Amino acid sequence: MPIKRLQIQGVRNLEQVAIADCGAINVFTGSNGSGKTSLLESIFILARARSFRSVQFNTAINHLLTRCVVFAEMANGTSIGVMRSRNEQQLFKLNGTPIHSASQLADALPLQLIDADSFSLLEGGPKVRRQFLDWGVFHVEPEFLFHWRRVQKAIKQRNNLLRQAKVKNAKIEDSELVPWDTELVQCAEKIDVMRARYLRRLEPHFLRLLKHLVPLETPELHYRRGWPDTQALEKVLQKDLARDLLHGTTHSGPQRADIDIQIGGRAAEDVLSRGQEKLLACALRLAQGVLLHEITGKTCIYLVDDLPAELDLPRRQALCQQLSAMRSQVFVTATDPESLRGCWPSSIETRWFHVEQGRVSLSTSP
């Protein structure tokens, strides 16, 4: 569901921006600090109600304003709007009707980001890869969000009990702990099945796309569910209770899940160059878009910040060709328009924009 019309107010240096006719491929060029990344950030806010550049959302709001607003009209007539203010007020709308959850925005506007932090899929901690995995499961498994929320609540309550017992140096009564253990185990088993099933379905798409982007020894994706494969979580929680009490936190469960990405039996980040790492991460995110469309019929919007970074011309061309072949809408930034000359197939509608001091204007291709 591509964006047709985009309006931005008050996101960093973008005081007032209106793009009346977005294309399939939208390329934004300009000098550093001109507002290119802020454009992508605005679209990200529209889909996630948060920024990918900072945890503190107030830094995303123009320093002269008290709020930011992003609005988009989709090609099928659907409209999405997000308002967030400095005093933590927020308003989300879908087709003019207020909605109350950012998950509804995410469901309405599936979106993937490829930027400098894409390397964290390989080099970062388990949380990054778990979020990557859960993005896909959320979009293709209708029951996932319900069980994920129950797990979060169970872990929070269990950890509260563990910390209280640690502080008071007291024993936890079974009547307090068992209900949350039971809830955690029941939901964890369902989430584990959904995550494992999703990764199995994702892997062949990932391997196929990677071959088009960069020649590598066949990678392997290994799913780690967060507790030993040979043991039931209920037994693991009982066995780990002393350690959990000592540290005041739950050490085993779906909140510890991870994906090991290996090349020839070694961690991928230990054997790949920076360019190869970026392309592998791109292949993973492109594969998610392919699988999303295969299962749900939805298309994913891609935000690609500074596409030429770390990639030589043949690799840039390969990535652009794969993005084009997916028939997804793409928003791309680059400092030098010449760096993307000839990268996009002439058969695909490509619109070029110049960004300067927070203003956006239509330009010609390089």
Residues of the chain with pLDDT under 70: 1
- How many CB atoms sit inside 10 A of residue 81's CB? 20
Per DSSP bridges, beta strands 14-19 and 3-11 are antiparallel
Determine the pLDDT at residue 175. 85
Taking only the tens place, the pLDDT of each residue in 72-105 is: 999 989 999 999 999 989 999 999 999 989 999 9
Q: Is 342 left (phi over 0), alpha (psi -120 to 50) or beta?
A: left
What pTM value is reported for the model? 0.93
| Backbone angles phi and psi of 263, in degrees to 5 | -125, 115
d(CA 289, CA 325): 12
Determine the pLDDT at residue 119. 86
Determine the pLDDT at residue 1. 67
Taking only the tens place, the pLDDT of each residue in 54-78 is: 999 999 999 999 999 999 999 989 9
- E strand or H helix at 88: none
Taking only the tens place, the pLDDT of each residue in 18-35 is: 999 999 999 999 999 999
d(CA 282, CA 249): 34
